[in-house]
Amino acid sequence: MNRPSGRRDPATFPPYLHPPYASTVARSPREELVALEATISERSGPRLSGRLPEDADLTRNAGTAGEAIGERIIVTGRVVDAAGTPVPHTLVEVWQANAAGRYIHQRDDHAAPLDPNFVGIGRCHTDADGVYRFTTIRPGAYPWRNHPNAWRPAHIHLSVFGPTIASRLVTQMYFPGDPLHALDPILSAVPAGARQRLVARYDHDVTVPEWALGYRFDVVLAGPGATPPDPGTTP
Amino acid sequence: MTAGATPSQTLGPFFTDALVDPGLARATASPDAEAEPMRLEGRVLDADGSGVDDALVELWRADPDHPDVTGDGHGWARSATDAEGGYRFWLPRPRPLPHPSAREQAPHVVVLVLARGILDVLLTRAYPVEEPTVPDDPVLRRVPAERRGTLLAVRDGEVDDVPRYRFDVRLQGPGETVFFAL
C-alpha cells in the first residue's frame, strides 16, 4: 500500500499524512512502509501489571483530600483481540483535560482554571474477562491552534497494550452528541465508516444511582494474535 | 464475527505526566536470562531534521525463552524525548531470535514511536551492531538494500562501562527510517 496510507487496515485506521491536522505534515513517513510478517518480536509483548499499579479513580487521585470538580462519570468497556477474545490483565492508561478543558501541562496555556483536586491521569488493568473501569469527571472541550477557532471535542486519551506489541493502540474516546465531532480534523482523520467506533455509548446500566453517569467504550485490537505460527505451514 | 477494530488517534502533546516516569526507561530481563547491559540512545527527527521534543518512544525486546507474553514488565521500556528530541534506554542486550523461515533473526529490539501529529503507532526495529554493517537477517532482507542502514543502532563508545548504541528515528525526509506495516 503506497502513501499516504497508515500501517494497518486503511478502512479503519487513519493515514499518517492528514493535512487538515497540521502536525502530520512534517511528522508522517513518505516512503512506503515495509510489509512485515509477524515474528516472535511482534507476536509477544509485555505484561505490566506488576510494574504499573492500578490507579483508576481520577476524581480522588490528586494527592489531596479533595474531590475533582465536574460531572462524575464511569467509563468502562471490554478489551478484545481481533478474534473477539477478551484480553485479560492488560494495561489501560488514560489521560484527559479537567472539566474546564485544561490539562496540567506546561504547554497548555488555555485561559481556563486548573482544578487542584484533578490531575487527569489514571491506570487500570483489565480483569479476567477483559473489562476495564475508570471513575472520572467528564472533560471539557478546549481550543487549539491548528486552524482559526479550532476546538477539540471533549475526549479521553486511552493507551492499550493488548496481547502483542503489534496490537498496541493509542486512541481517544469521544462523547455522544457532540457538535464538535464533525469539525475536528483529528477524529475526521479516521475513515468515515469507522469514526463512530471512537464515540462512547451512554449506558444506563453502567450509571450508578445517586452517584455517576455511565459510558461504555469497548476496544477491539487489531494486529496479529499471540499464538506463534506453526513453522511447518509457513512457506 | 466481532465489531470492527478500534481506530487509532494521536497521543497528543499533553501525555507527559500520565505516561512517563524516569524509571520506565530501563528494561529488565527475566531472572533466568543472561543480562549483559547496553544503552540505546538517539533522537527523533522530523522532516526538517529538527528534534521532536514531544515524542514517546517505547522499546520491546522479545525473549526467546518466553515467546508468548513476558511477565512483570520484562523487556519493555518507555522514554519521552527531551528538548533536543533525544531519548535513552537501558536494556539487556537482545539475543538472536527464531524466525518462521527457520533462519535466525539477528539481535534486535522493536521500537515504537508516538507523538503529536502521528495518527497511529509507528513501528520499526533497531539492530545493535559494532560496525555499520548490515547483519544477515530475514527481515532486513525484505527491506530495500539502500534503506537497511536506517535500522542499524551503531556502537558509539560506552557510558559508565555500558556499551552505547545510537539509533536516530527520522520520521520523514532524507534517510527516512524504515517503518513496518503489519
Q: Are A77 and A160 in contact (CB under 8 A)?
A: no
Mean of per-residue pLDDT scores for chain A: 92
At A232 the pLDDT is: 35
**Contact yes or no for A166 and B19 at CB 8 A:** no
Query: In Å, what is the CA distance from A114 to each residue of A63, A72, A119, A122?
Result: 15, 17, 9, 17
At B32 the pLDDT is: 64
At B101 the pLDDT is: 85
Beta strands B162-166; B152-159: pairing state:
antiparallel
Q: Which residue of B48, B70, B115 is in closest CB contact with A46?
A: B70
Report whether pLDDT(A225) > 70: no
Report whether pLDDT(A227) > 90: no
At B22 the pLDDT is: 83
Give residue A13's pLDDT band: very low, low, confident or very high (50, 70, 90).
Answer: very high
Q: Which residue of B46, B125, B144 is in closest CB contact with A27?
A: B46
- The C-alpha cell at B111 is 521500537
Q: Angle at CA B132, nearest 5°, toward B131 and B138?
A: 105
For the residues A106-128, what does the mean pLDDT come to? 95
Report whether pLDDT(A226) > 90: no
End-to-end CA distance of chain A: 22
pTM of the model: 0.95
> Of B173, B134, B176, which Cα lies nearest the Cα of B154?
B134
**Contact yes or no for B48 and A228 at CB 8 A:** no
Measure the CA–CA gap between A74 and A124, rounded to whole angstroms: 13
Query: In Å, what is the CA distance from A100 to each residue of A143, A176, B59, B162?
Result: 11, 18, 35, 47
Report whether pLDDT(A69) > 70: yes
3-state secondary structure of B35: coil
> Which residues 43-102 of A have a C-beta within 8 angstroms of B?
43-52, 80, 82-84, 93-95, 97
B45 burial level (CB within 10 Å; 0-12, 13-18, 19+): buried
Q: Read off the pLDDT of residues A165-178 as tens digits, 9 standing for 90 and up.
A: 999 999 999 999 99
> Which residues of chain B make contact with A186, given a CB cutoff of 8 A?
9-10, 119
**Contact yes or no for B98 and A39 at CB 8 A:** yes
The residue from A7, A60, A133, A157 that is catalytic is A157
**Contact yes or no for B9 and A14 at CB 8 A:** yes
Beta strands in A71-138 (DSSP E): 72-80, 91-96, 121-125, 131-137
pLDDT higher for B121 or A227?
A: B121
Measure the CA–CA gap between B121 and B129, rounded to whole angstroms: 25
> Of A95, A85, A74, A215, which Cα lies nearest the Cα of A162?
A85
- The C-alpha cell at B146 is 539502500
pLDDT higher for A127 or B21?
A: A127
Architecture of the domain delimited by B16-170: Sandwich (2.60)
Query: In Å, what is the CA distance from B33 to each residue of A76, A138, B65, B89?
Result: 38, 45, 8, 19
At A235 the pLDDT is: 33
Give residue A49's pLDDT band: very low, low, confident or very high (50, 70, 90).
Answer: confident
> Which residues of chain B make contact with A28, given a CB cutoff of 8 A?
117-118, 171-172
Report whether pLDDT(A105) > 80: yes
To probe the interface with A, which of B65, B70, B103, B182 has the most A CB atoms within 10 Å?
B182
Give the torsion sign (CA, B47, B48, B52, B57). positive
Single-letter residue type at A224: P
User: Averaged in consecutive runs of 10 residues, what is the pLDDT profile of chain B (182 residues)?
Assistant: 84 90 85 81 98 97 77 87 97 93 92 98 98 96 97 97 97 97 90
> Of A199, A184, A190, A185, which Cα lies nearest the Cα of A13?
A190
At A230 the pLDDT is: 37
DSSP conformation class of A167: G
To probe the interface with B, which of A2, A12, A47, A85 has the most B CB atoms within 10 Å?
A47
Q: Is A202 a residue of the active site?
A: no
The answer, for A130 touching chain B at a CB cutoff of 8 Å, is: no
For the residues A1-14, what does the mean pLDDT come to? 78
